[in-house]
Amino acid sequence: MDQIIVQILNGLDKGSAYALIALGLTLIFGTLGVVNFAHGALFMMGAFCSVVLSRILSSSYKVVDESQTDFLGNPLQVDVFYVQDWFGDAAGATIMDWAVPLAILFSIPVMIFIGFAMERGLIKHFYKRPHADQILVTFGLAIVLGEVIKYYFGANPIQSPAPEALSGRVDFGQWLGYGPNTIIYPMWRLVYFFFSAAIIAGVFAFLQFTTFGMVVRAGMADRETVGLLGIDIDKRFTFMFGLAAAVAGMAGVMYAPIVSPTYTMGMDWLVLSFVVVVVGGMGSLPGAVLAGFMLGIIESFASMPAVVDLLPGINQIIIYLVAIVILLTRPRGLMGRKGVMED
């Protein structure tokens, strides 16, 4: 039973990332009608926001330490961090330690800007083009963004640790009445789950309870009529692209301590996230979230050694198998709307 609980936790954690990426994809598809294959790259760029901020906060100058030598036998040049110079050793160390959470604040304007630039600079020219063209151009864009990141940061994963205070483990089993050390779970993964839940709730609340959100929802249902009412729906949809980019970026920032950022991580998530969107139902925001968590949990169970022993390779195909079964029984996905992608 304890293993089942751990795999549910793992699934919720993985599902959180799926849900956040799929939510952004669905927002873009629902508003602009664009199939954005560069969305995984936005997740990756979010993760690299944490790397960039970490490097900014760790900016340093060199001081020669005559008592030590470097690998060539020359006096060692020791890094002195500016933040420690400015705020003192302890405060400076704390600021550097909290780089990942601080990167959330950093990533929001950066990712909104990237989203705007992508939409205005490239994607808007493909609104009236077939979905195949949109997929090709956004897929190409994803490759370009990946290569740009590799050029500046290299190909190897870059460690981006969670703050010390959130790096520990939680004895989850004791909360559920098990003995000590039965179900140990990393604290940061729980933080990630609650963070994702808060972002998802925030996006839904924004769309549901604000005038802006109401107009966007109306535009998603009938763009032409909203336009006839004198509302510049294009501007609002562009904002939604920026919002979707920011959601993907924040998902990436918070995921950086779980999987070290590398330029390939966007592609790693992209295909699975599209499966999530299709299973949830094209254009359905609740469907994307539901499918994200569901497929995350199923994938975690399929990766259990006992299951893999029984059905070798099942861990690599389970999501696609589930997608096939769901699409055969519910062709529009779990919560798909009639008329979306059916023309």
Partner 1 sequence: MSKSNFTRRGVLKTSALGAGALALPQYLRADGHAGFTNAPGDSEVVLGFNVPQTGPYADEGADELRAYELAVEHLNGGGDGGMLNTFSSKVLDGTGILGREVKYVTGDTQTKSDAARASARSMIEKDGAIMITGGSSSGVAVAVQALCQEAGVIFMAGLTHSNDTTGKDRKANGFRHFFNSYMTGAALAPVLAANYGTDRKAYHLTADYNWGYTTEEAIRASTEAVGWETVNTVKTPLTQTDFSSYIAPVLNSGADVLVLNHYGGNMVNSLTNAVQFGLKEAQANGQNFEIVVPLYSRLMARGAGENVKGIFGSTNWHWSLQDEGSQAFVRSFGTKYGFPPSQAAHTTYVQTLLYADAVTRAGSFAPCAVAEALEDYEFDGLGNGKTLYRGDDHQCFKDVLVVKGKENPTSEFDLLEVVEVTPVDQVMYSPDHPQMGGADASLGECNNGA
Q: Which is nearer to partner 1, 71 or 209 (CB)?
A: 71
Q: Which is nearer to partner 1, 186 or 242 (CB)?
A: 186
Q: How far is the CB of 47 from partner 1 (least distance, A)?
A: 11
- Cα–Cα distance, 232 to 119 (Å, whole number): 16
> How many other C-beta atoms can be found within 10 angstroms of the C-beta atom of residue 209?
9
Q: How far is the CB of 229 from partner 1 (least distance, A)?
A: 46
Q: How far is the CB of 261 from partner 1 (least distance, A)?
A: 10
Tell me which residues touch partner 1 (CB under 8 A): 2-3, 6-7, 10, 13-14, 68, 70-72, 76, 150, 154-159, 161, 167, 169, 181-182, 184-186, 188-189, 257-260, 262, 264-265, 268, 299-300, 303-305, 308, 312, 315-316
Q: How far is the CB of 267 from partner 1 (least distance, A)?
A: 10
Q: Which is nearer to partner 1, 9 or 288 (CB)?
A: 9
Q: How far is the CB of 249 from partner 1 (least distance, A)?
A: 18
Pairing of strands 60-69, 75-81: antiparallel
Q: Which is nearer to partner 1, 27 or 47 (CB)?
A: 47
Q: Which is nearer to partner 1, 148 or 340 (CB)?
A: 148
**Maximum CA extent, the chain:** 76
- E strands present in the chain: 60-69, 75-81, 169-171, 184-186
> How many other C-beta atoms can be found within 10 angstroms of the C-beta atom of residue 257?
24
Q: Which residue has the tokens 């901020």?
A: 53
Closest to 115 in 3D by CA, of 294, 289, 278, 247: 247
Output the CA torsion sign for 117, 118, 119, 120: positive
